[in-house]
Structure 1
Amino acid sequence: MPKQWLPPQIKRVELSTRTNGRPNVRYQLTCDTGEVNGKRKQFRKRYKSEADARQKLSQIQAAIAADAYVHVGRLTVREACNQWIDSKHNLKPTSINGHKSKLSPVCAVLGDIEVQKLTKADIDRLVKRLRAGEQAGYKKWSPRSVNYMLSIFTAVVESQQRQGHVERNVARLVEHLPSEKAEMKILSEEDMFKILDHPGRDRHLWALALYGLRRGEIAALRWEHVNFETKTVRVTENRVVSGRVITTGTPKSRRSRRILPMPDEVLDALREAHALQLQERFASASYADSDYIACDSDGRPYHPNLLTFRWRKLLRELSIDRVRLHDARHSCGSLMHMRNVPTVVIAAWLGHSSAAFTMATYIHSQDDALLVASTSYQRGVTIPVTTSVGDNVPKDK
């Protein structure tokens, strides 16, 4: 078989050392791989055999031809995460802070690893420690938080892959955890009206919560958004906490901006609170000029987390089983549903983008409703037919 000539990119090199009297031979591969930021780049490495050098040369040339060659880089995981965050120009500050919070253990534990050297095992170990509560500086993470982190970090590495900095996205190989969606609790009608009738400084806040406003919407609401003449409340802002930062911005979605007509009992609670705050303003020379409806006696706006704390305290005082403040919103949607309010109207009231999301997430059966449903199998019971907006179900004639 005739001897093959070496391609110009491969050079036979004899080392000064010898083995068993024979020269040590290496095959040095040197080939151009293109330009990065205007600088010429080359791949250079020595191999023990000519076959290995030829195989690597073939792989590099094929990758360059397919525009898939990845240059050697020193970019770290922390730098990649920061670059990805900086590239998100259209996200709200609250979303940015949430992403930073979920990427913080990635940066803390894997931050110094070069992205090109990151392995699936590195990420798996981090997930395991977060789930077990064994990662220093972090409490035990729920599957939802871990999956959130994995989704964002997958996007970070994918961005590096699209830019040609890594060959494959190892974060995509990590399996997401089974979701553990907690069963949502809602208040009974009796408990809802018990809260509405309970006197106290924050009664107007609980009334708004029971009528479907989010915690962030209540915390951001100001008296200029309340119109006592038209009996409406205008929801235009959201005041939320991300880590230790309080951010006020637009609501979660476009449809979250809404004007809601309020019943007299809610307006009465708002009038009482407004009158009290005016008295406190005139009585204090250092009263804060905040205009927030959720504030202390000095006019300083409540921290959103304080609303949750005061809600829990109220439930203990009224001997009501503990439910989250956000569950007051669930209770509002469920009560409307039980009273035959069309789903599309409930979605508009709660500020949802679709009625399907409203039905899947916020409408829940209550024990009383289940008891009524059980009577449908009794003999001689006539069940009235109701239709929602958009339904085309003919009634019995």
Structure 2
Amino acid sequence: MARQQLPPQIKTRDVVDRRTGKPVRRYVVTVDVAPPGEPRKQVKKRFTTEREARSFLATTQAEVARGTYVAASSTTVRQAVQDWLDTRQLKPTTLQSYTVVLQALVDENGDTQVQKLSEADVVRMLRRLRSGKSPGRKKWTARSCNLLLTLTKAVLESEKRQGRVVRNVAADIRPMERDARTAKTLTHEQMLTVLDHECRDRHLWTLALHGLRRGEIAGLRWENVDLDARTITIAETRVAVGKEVLTSTPKSKQSRRTLPLPQDVVDVLKAARRAQRAERLKAGSMYQGGEHLACDEFGKPYHPDKLSRDWREMIKALGVDRVRLHDARHTCGTLMHLRGVPITVIAAWLGHSSAAFTMATYTHSQDDALAAAGVTLTARVSEQM
């Protein structure tokens, strides 16, 4: 039987084997891999047998025809993550947050080549994080794991668009079921206990119960408070990301908002303003800053985490059941809802872009006590919202 002629993409080359010193034949494959309409691109590879050369040529041409061909790449997961972060146009706080979350992917699979990363690798990583078996890390919540999964999918999708992987191996991984957790809200009596509590930071807890985020409270400056017009403008946030405190603009267009204040809130803010001015006089040259509503006796802005710690200590001292500072925001949304405030208005007050998100996340009807709060909410909080 006549020997089958080699295709033009395969050339033979006679060389001397370095180990034996004898002449041997090698097969060099040169194949076009650029999609139609794009500049020419070729891949060249050498084989010891004709069979291997023909197999590589056929497989490569078929992948090019299907649009699934990717050239061999040594890009690692660590490099892919860094490339993705470097090309994102994100707020500094969001970028830092994503960097912290994706560090788990880098720590687990950073040295793995992206082309060798498997779906099983990603699933195992998520399971270890969820179970608390990832070295050096506490047990992650399902929410945190799902955020990491979302970001991992985004990184791999970027690699796919750039032609470095055939498919996104994380694309079909389903998010973990969220922890069954209902946000706690203060009862009507508990809310009044906090609002009436005379303390240095009473104005901060009042703002929290009127729906401001922790970062918004930490970032609020006196220049954005108009006590005559009875308004506050949310124009800046201070948030803790890792060990850093980052100052930025609000998280969305809807989060930047101007809110009318009830008179009792204005009175609390006026008292806080007078107290801070007195502290400035007392501290003299030691006083630095004082632009923020949330600051110490010497004008230094609070670390956002301090707000959470002081809130916990305050409600414990008042004998109130443990409720997170962020749950004060839930309380605001819930009481507005139970008082019949339209959900679109509640969303605008809280700074949400989606009324559906507000309804699903920030309004609750938990028990008889909360239902009663909707009926008996005092005029100073509800009627002027």
TM range (shorter): 0.7 to 0.9
Distance, in Å, in 2 between the alignment partners of 1:337 and 1:2 is 86
Q: Show the counterpart of 2:175.
A: 176
Q: Show the counterpart of 1:334.
A: 334
Q: Deviations over 1:297-344 (max 9, x none)?
A: 011000001000000001101111111111101111111111122222
Q: Show the counterpart of 2:139.
A: 140
Q: Show the counterpart of 2:324.
A: 324
Q: Deviations over 1:226-284 (max 9, x none)?
A: 11111111111121111112111111221111111111221121111111110111111
Distance, in Å, in 2 between the alignment partners of 1:164 and 1:317 is 59
Question: 2:287·2:299 contact (CA, 8 Å) conserved in 1?
Answer: yes
Question: 2:12·2:28 contact (CA, 8 Å) conserved in 1?
Answer: no
Question: 2:239·2:304 contact (CA, 8 Å) conserved in 1?
Answer: yes
Q: Deviations over 1:163-195 (max 9, x none)?
A: 111112122244432221421110001100110
1:41 deviation in Å?
A: 4.8
1:130 deviation in Å?
A: 1.3
1:24 deviation in Å?
A: 12
Residue-pair matches, total: 363
Identify if the C-alpha distance between structure 1 residues 182 and 16 changes in structure 2 by more than 3 Å, giving closer, same or farther.
same
Q: Deviations over 1:46-84 (max 9, x none)?
A: 26562x532321221233345543111211111110110
Taking structure 1 as the reference length, the TM-score comes to 0.84
Q: Show the counterpart of 2:111.
A: 112
Equivalent runs, 1:14-93 vs 2, <5 Å: 28-33=27-32, 41-46=42-47, 50=51, 52-65=52-65, 67-89=67-89, 91-93=90-92
Distance, in Å, in 2 between the alignment partners of 1:173 and 1:371 is 42
Distance, in Å, in 2 between the alignment partners of 1:68 and 1:371 is 58
Q: Secondary structure at the match of 1:233?
A: strand
Distance, in Å, in 1 between the alignment partners of 2:76 and 2:290 is 44
Q: Show the counterpart of 2:380.
A: none
Equivalent runs, 1:294-313 vs 2, <5 Å: 294-313=294-313
Distance, in Å, in 2 between the alignment partners of 1:223 and 1:139 is 38
Distance, in Å, in 2 between the alignment partners of 1:308 and 1:81 is 32
Question: 1:26·1:46 contact (CA, 8 Å) conserved in 2?
Answer: no
Question: 2:195·2:202 contact (CA, 8 Å) conserved in 1?
Answer: yes
Query: What is the identity, as a one-letter code, of the residue corresponding to 2:231?
Result: T
Identify if the C-alpha distance between structure 1 residues 87 and 139 changes in structure 2 by more than 3 Å, giving closer, same or farther.
same
Distance, in Å, in 2 between the alignment partners of 1:255 and 1:125 is 38
Distance, in Å, in 1 between the alignment partners of 2:161 and 2:354 is 33
Distance, in Å, in 1 between the alignment partners of 2:318 and 2:222 is 28
Identify if the C-alpha distance between structure 1 residues 44 and 310 changes in structure 2 by more than 3 Å, giving closer, same or farther.
same
Q: Secondary structure at the match of 2:327?
A: helix
Question: 1:29·1:53 contact (CA, 8 Å) conserved in 2?
Answer: yes
Q: Secondary structure at the match of 1:259?
A: strand
Q: Show the counterpart of 2:382.
A: none
Q: Deviations over 1:200-231 (max 9, x none)?
A: 00100000000111111110101111111111
Question: 2:200·2:272 contact (CA, 8 Å) conserved in 1?
Answer: yes
| The 10-residue stretch of structure 1 (125-134 or 196-205) with the greater mean CA deviation from structure 2 | 125-134
1:128 deviation in Å?
A: 2.4
Q: Show the counterpart of 1:353.
A: 353
Question: 1:26·1:49 contact (CA, 8 Å) conserved in 2?
Answer: no
User: Which of the pair has the greater relative contact order for Cα pairs under 8 Å at 6+ separation?
Assistant: 2
1:2 deviation in Å?
A: 5.1
Question: 2:31·2:42 contact (CA, 8 Å) conserved in 1?
Answer: yes
Query: What is the identity, as a one-letter code, of the residue corresponding to 2:270?
Result: R
Distance, in Å, in 1 between the alignment partners of 2:131 and 2:271 is 49
| The 10-residue stretch of structure 1 (324-333 or 122-131) with the greater mean CA deviation from structure 2 | 122-131
Give the % identical residues. 47
Q: Show the counterpart of 2:253.
A: 254
Query: What is the identity, as a one-letter code, of the residue corresponding to 1:43?
Result: K
Equivalent runs, 1:201-220 vs 2, <5 Å: 201-220=200-219
Distance, in Å, in 2 between the alignment partners of 1:223 and 1:10 is 76
